[in-house]
Structure 1
């Protein structure tokens, strides 16, 4: 395979000793490519996070590319990212064989096979310091849609890397596969029953009449047939059984595995989803409306895309995620409680992303933000002429837009009482009647609701329907406020990472992190996100967020608070005032900066370099203020 790749490289005219072309692709073109690869990016991003956790601190990086070899997204160790940029391993660069010669990405895409290219096997001299393991990613129709790659220093390669990459690529394929055929008969099978529901199970889908539609790579292997060969088959020819018998086997409520015999004589254990969806069931086969991928290198990446990404170590969050995974795709509605800004909308999106509806629409409705006079039309839709000002040809309501996917009713406690009965009827009968329409439209939605209000108290006051409450609260989870979480620093770094453009390096000064950890965060994660977004803009392309990068109104609010620990060992001191002093209302913002510098200089015994590092400022910044600082504090 390597010899063939070298021959292709030579025929393409790739020069062995050329320097890497590190000129960036136009941002608009990268944005277009991300849009074209939207579904791939959505399903690959959380898998890349997991893969990177497994190889972290090995001088390596994880890359996702398009089917043509363009790098779309990357995650990597800081010490390796700089080296990677020197050989053009950055988003927007083309790593096909036509431009880079023999390399794992380009060769895996050309051969449509997983491969590792060791240092000296690269065609271009500039890439011989790398060892790369790559697997192509196939869509549910057997076409290559991209590639997943791990690239690292050739001296630190691990023999199991390719296996990890292959498993991760298969996981992405299964996620994409799951939601591509929502109305098909889906068969899960393996020769060993304990492997059902795992990454290695075979999945094949058929029309209700038994015509073959698709099969994942594990199914192709077990059946002993390629994707193209399978297209000539039916369920009956593959399992020697009419598909009607499958409905009889799995048509009841019990879903215990059953044995079937494949055309090659091998017996397998199976589960099938052959029933029409029940009023609350998620379509048995998968995906969601993908979260928006970054539209350009300068724009932020999506911050939370799956339940796994939300799990940053807090026991309360871990318990919530464990419960949600237990009820996933089990016909159980979810209600999320929590303070405003605590991330209820992010959790709802993650539930949808990890569900069998992941490729279908995710439609959020904030019941508190829509005027009461319009919410009925927004939810249920309307026909032309239904009311004064109605659009010509009418409009589809949010419930109908969510057909096949997830309807997220945020701030459900603010829904007007007279509409609660209509919503309950929709949930019970799975039909919606637009305003002014003489007919009902069938809808298949799963509902996630959220509120910061106490609905039981509202029920007692007659403000919320009890029957609707019990329809919505199949599983109730309560998100902790940001100030209650034990994983605060990790949350801060996750949010900060989401705000940084690809390749941008950003840190937070230790003193600032300590200050943030002591704040009470009334606006929770949303407030943190807005604060860090401003700070990132103040710092620029590279650097460390210091006290002077925080918004003035935030610092002014902190002036009025009396409990800012300067260090864990001095919890009774204030961060911005010298020991024994208290902040007064007359202090200006200049005092905040000077007192912070004075405190850090005292803490570091006059060492300007150490104090500057703790505050996230340069030494010159402190020296410029030296005339305003106590002279005994400067070394």
Structure 2
């Protein structure tokens, strides 16, 4: 098992120039097999701005959690003639910051965003070698394979995602003459911070146990964190937890809360009831006694998994038969949670409910940010597979050269640089549960036939293996692309398309939805608890009117970020005002349109009932605005929901427009 980042490793010592430790010697041998020559000019092929922007979007989650840590690290090494680099799993530099004088020197060897520093391009270097060895690596001066890079000393640490898979590298690079012994230690600590942030973000709404043998280390980078489902099924553990438990993730996946910590979920809940402080003493399976903090984490903005829990006595009791308690089951039934009044969304949910448990694949279409993964998770949580894992794979975020091994896994020795014991692919990880293939339109064409075979035969062959492993997995796919158009261009297989589209549903963009007034308070619910007891966040009426006019090009991702930022800026009354909105929000507003309708323009009101007056006013407004419901609602000063309710009908795309 690889040691946790906070442990000192021999590789963190800076060897004398020219002395090749075994890992560097192996890296030099690989460089030779790549056909590189020590005196050759490195590969300085840097991505275009557009291509780099795509890569940044694909690594958005990593960048979100890594950049603040990089800024903190920068303050610690300022004026040391060095820089900090973040790459993706393929060695492509995403961001770089550092001392201006050194950044200029680094430019000469393309040590900047958009350049690839995998060993195949740059030979032995800390970034590429850390990826190949999957281990913290220092490459000092003359140890670089290419002579052009020998003025550098680089300290690189792999970044693993919450499931133990490589997601990127953090590197500190400087002039080889000013190398500091503590650089690697700082890089390791920074990576542990990034990984813990990624872990907390991935497992919101779960049972998390933070533990350490010494109580003073709780709340620090040294604490281990393990995440479980409500019924005690193991989800994941950070590096420190793996070290303390004495097992890697692959082995821990076979365990439960009971086998690791010696008590079941009901027993843990009972102890929490008797100990409101939630600071417990637990015994690990290896006999070590640790101090632990237990947390039922609140979900992220707009998500729902566990019911809100603020006190130990609020935690629902577990049934003796092992089934989840009713309150938890209700909260996990998220199709109902997503049904907030929009007719289009309600129609989607109604169709989905009819095929649950019938082995019919579901294809979700819609613009980026419309909530496709949230719907997929809801489908899983309401399906017969809900007791199994939900494994999401973004086909657009995995390099084309790696996606096959990511999906199918590989056997020991399947290819150079592979993990010694191979790796379990996402299909096998999802066995017994649901595999969500996001952005299926970005799956490489040659790989599509392998996926089709798996779907037909329900068996997986890992790379390098002759064995077929049977699987039971539900498949949900999503895309923002037009797959039919891609089929006509021979970019997506027709047979795979018709195998995946048992039920095709389309999520409407936020600008077309009629439930904004219901969605916004729901999104704000989870933020209210952080703003004082009894305080509830709310949106001012004029701000809600602006929301109704917004085109929301980023859909729910844009709305969620806007509300999260605004919630952090509100005053003590908790009301979100115009001044709490970002400046670029106002660039996305539609024109107000026609002036409000005058009463004189309405039909005669004499002898009519109030509801008839309302219906007449609505009909007149819709007619004056060419069937645009949003514009009619703004003219009347009401919400679109009110119009639909008064008309007592579902909007139809052939008669009503949504201000597209």
Q: TM-score range by the shorter chain?
A: 0.3 to 0.5
TM-score (norm 2): 0.46
